[in-house]
Structure 1
Amino acid sequence: MTVLPGRPRHELKFLLAAASKARFLSLIRDGIQPDRHGDEHGAYRVSSLYYDTMDLQAYYEKLDGVLLRKKFRLRYYGLPEEEPSVSFFEIKHRYGNLISKERAVLAPEICGRLLKQESDLDELAERGGSTVERVLGFHHRQPLSPALIVSYLRHAWTGVEDEDLRVTFDHFLTAHPPDDYLSPGRGAGLPFLPPDQIVLEIKFNRNLPRWLQQRLIQHRLRPVRYSKYVEAALAQNVEAVGIR
C-alpha cells in the first residue's frame, strides 16, 4: 500500500453549473458553516504560483494518469499590493483520490522575492524545516522553475458536526504569467473555465457523510478528474511555449 506523507484525505471534484449553485447549497446548508478564514460568506481569493521541471514533469504526469504524483506551489491569499501577508510553500501529494499536503509558512519578504522572481527556490533555505528540505532536495535533483499562476475566488465551508469536512466552490478561474503575481487583483488573466461553471471540491478524512452523498445524487453530480494547473497550462499553451 502506498503511504502519503502527513494525514491523507479524500478529495472529490465536480463541475457545477453556476446557475445551480444556490439550489445545491440550499440542499446542504444545514450541514455546513462558512469557513472562518473568509468573509461572512466564507469567500476569499486564492492564488498559486506553480513550479514545474523544464520537461513539465507534473503536467505530463497528470495527463498520463500517473497514480502517485506531486505538485509544488507557492500559495498566497487575498489581493496583494506588494508582498502577501499570508503565504505558504506547499507540496501537494496525490494517490488516486487520496491527497496530502505539506506546507511551510513563508515570511512576507521571502514570498515577495519569490513572486517577483528576484530569487530562486534556494531562498527557502532561510526558512528551514522538513517541508523545505524535501522541496530543495527535489529541486537540486530536478530543478524547478515558475510555470504559471492560477487564481480564483473561493467560497469555503466546513462541516457543522465534522470540521474536517470541507466543501469549496471555486469561481472565475484564471491563468497568469508566472512573473505577474499582481494581475489577479486587477481583474486580468486568461479564463480557463467558462464563467457559467464552478469547480466544487469536497475533502473528507475517511467516509463521505451519507447526507452529503445523498445530496450529490439528488443533484446528479458525478466526480470528475480536473486539475487547475493542467487546465491553466493548456490554456497558456505551455507545451509549446515552455517555462524559463
Structure 2
Amino acid sequence: MNNNLKYRHELKFMINYHQFYLISSRLRNLMSRDKHAGPTGEYHIRSLYFDDMNNKALHEKLGGIRDRVKYRIRIYNVQDHIIHFEKKIKRDDYIAKVKESLTRDMYEAIIAGDYEVLHQPDKPFMMELYNEMNHNLLRPKVIVDYVREPYVCHNGNVRITFDKELRTGLNSTDIFNKDLSSVRALDDNLIILEVKYDEYIPGYIQTALQLQGLTRQSASKYVICRKFLKTNTWEDY
C-alpha cells in the first residue's frame, strides 16, 4: 500500500429501519454528531461518478477485484461552496481517499468537456485526472444522491454513517439541479450502514452496533445506481 496515504478499515451493512432505530438510539448516547450535520443530525450528499471508456470501475467492482479506484465529484446540501473531486482507493479491506477542491467555474468547465482546468502540474491528483480524461476518456456516468446521518468518535477515529433514501439521477450530470429527476435506487426500507475506523473500534461501540448480528455487504452505491441508466442493459455488465 502507498505509505503516503491514510488507509482505514471500512465495513458496510444493509439494514432495515427497525435495525436503524435500535442502533442509532444506542449510538446517540455514545458518540458525537458530525459537526457538519444540520439540526436534524443529517446532511445531503450528491456525487457525480466518473468511469472510463471501458467502464473499468464498474466491471472491477462487479468482478470482485479487491484493488480498485473510483472517481467522483461530491457536493453537500446541493450547494457549491464545497466541491471536491475525489478518488476513492480500495485495497483489500482498507480504503483511502485523495481529493482536491474545485470552484463552480472549474466544475462547469469539466462538465462542458474543457479539461484544461485540471492541468495543474503542481497538483499530482489534478494531473492524474487530466490524463484520465484525455487518455482513458474518463467521463461522468451517474449521479448518486442520499441523506447521511453521521456519528464520530475520537477513540479509534471511528465514523459511523447511516445512508438513507438512496436515489439516482436519471440520465443527468447536473448535480446542482435542485429539481433533479431521480428514482429510488434501493428498497424504501433499506439503509446502508458504514463503519470506518483506523486501528480499532472501542468495545462499547462494538456492543452498541452488535455487528455479529448483521450480514456484511459489498454495497457500492455507484454500481447500485448505474443499473438505472437508460443507456445500460444488463448485457453491459
- 1:216 and 1:222 in contact (8 A); partners too: no
Change (3 A) 1:218 1:59: closer
Moved over 6 A (4+): none
1:91 partner letter: K
> What SS class does the counterpart of residue 235 from structure 1 fall into?
coil
Partner of 2:103: 107
8 Å CA contact 1:171–1:197 kept in 2: the answer is yes
Cα 1:76–1:29, aligned 2, differ >3 Å: closer, same or farther? same
Cα distance in 1 between the residues matched to 2:156 and 2:231: 38
Cα deviation for residue 234 of structure 1 reads 1.6
The equivalent position to 1:130 in structure 2, one of 124, 128, 136, is 124
Classify 1:119/1:15 alpha carbon distance in 2 versus 1 (closer, same or farther; 3 Å). same
Asked if the contact 1:86/1:108 (under 8 Å) is kept, the reply is no
Deviation at 1:94, TM superposition (A): 0.2
Alpha-carbon distance in structure 1 between the residues aligned to 2:92 and 2:211: 25
Per the TM alignment, residue 124 of structure 1 is displaced from its structure 2 partner at its CA by 1.9
Counterpart pick for 2:85 among 81, 85, 89: 89
Q: 2: CA distance between counterparts of 1:12 and 1:98?
A: 9
How far, CA to CA, are the matches of 2:116 and 2:55 in structure 1? 20
The corresponding residue for 1:233 is 226
- CA distance in 1: counterparts of 2:201 and 2:223, whole angstroms: 26
**8 Å CA contact retained: 2:141, 2:173:** no
Counterpart in the other structure of 1:224: 217
Alpha-carbon distance change, 168 to 53 in structure 1, aligned in 2, over 3 angstroms: same
Matched, 1:196 2:196: no
- TM-score, L = length of structure 2: 0.88
Q: CA deviation at 1:186?
A: 2.8
Deviation, structure 1 residue 131? 1.6
**Gapped regions of structure 2 (runs ≥ 5):** none
Inter-partner Cα distance in structure 1 for 2:97 and 2:64: 20
> Number of residues paired by the alignment?
235
Kindly indicate whether the alpha-carbon contact (under 8 Å) linking 2:15 and 2:193 is maintained by their aligned counterparts in 1: yes
TM superposition shift of 1:213: 2.2
Distance in 2 between the 1:187 and 1:72 partners? 21
Describe the superposition over 1:223-244 as per-residue Cα deviations: whole angstroms up to 9, x where unpaired.
Answer: 211000001012225543999x
CA distance in 2, matches of 1:19, 1:107: 40
Map of 1:58 onto structure 2: 57
1:70-219 to 2 correspondences below 5 Å: 70-80=69-79, 84-114=80-110, 117-125=111-119, 129-159=123-153, 161-162=154-155, 164-176=157-169, 177-183=171-177, 185-186=178-179, 188-217=181-210
Which residue of structure 2 lines up, in the alignment, with residue 33 of structure 1?
Answer: 32
Change (3 A) 1:234 1:143: same
Percentage of matched positions with identical amino acids: 26
